[in-house]
Amino acid sequence: MNSQDIIAQLPYSKPFLFVDEITHIDENGVEGSYTFDENLDFYKGHFKDFPVTPGVILIEVMAQIGLVCLGMFLLNNTFSKSTSIALTSTDIEFLKPIFPTEKVIVISEKIYFRFGKLKCKVIMKNENEEVVCTGIIAGMVIRK
């Protein structure tokens, strides 16, 4: 399964698809990016007159790239439409805000993948290579 296959099979669509590109993926981790469109609905009400990307959306970007994309790659031929990867836990520290039109890069390193549970150390950086947020996310494979 290559990067384009993974993005095409993600169980999300706009406006809730937060993966533009996967630049690297292997059995140990993934790196990808997303650019925030200034017209996304949440910017209309999250800090009037000074839109900031909500932390929960930053976690979602980290989860989609760093957990779901990696999980799909690790499952390779056993991933199908009847398979999902559900977020089970997060421990994220937020260090810098992200504003409309900013591009973020997510780097995820697998801690373990066993018994259907994937746990990763994830870092999000902005285009200036500054760490925006960092932490641990985990999820599990769900078969419908």
pLDDT tens across the length of the chain (144 residues): 788 889 998 989 999 999 999 999 999 999 999 999 999 999 988 888 899 999 999 999 999 999 999 999 998 866 667 778 889 999 999 999 999 999 999 999 999 999 989 999 999 999 999 999 999 999 998 877
Sign, Cα dihedral of 42, 45, 47, 51: positive
Helix residue spans in the chain (DSSP H): 3-9, 55-63, 70-75
**67, two tokens:** 């957990």
CA distance 51 to 60: 18
pLDDT computed for residue 46 by the predictor: 82
Q: Which is the catalytic residue, given 35, 46, 94, 113? A: 46
Phi, psi of 55 (to 5 degrees): -55, -35
pLDDT of residue 123: 98
Question: What pLDDT, on a 0 to 100 scale, did the predictor assign at position 119?
Answer: 98
Task: Locate the domains of the chain by residue range.
Answer: 3-143
The pLDDT, as a whole number, for residue 38 is 94
CATH T-level topology, domain 3-143 = Thiol Ester Dehydrase; Chain A (3.10.129)
Residue 77 is predicted with a pLDDT of 64
- Taking the C-alpha atoms of residue 19 and residue 21, their distance in angstroms, rounded to an integer, is 6
Active site residue 46: yes
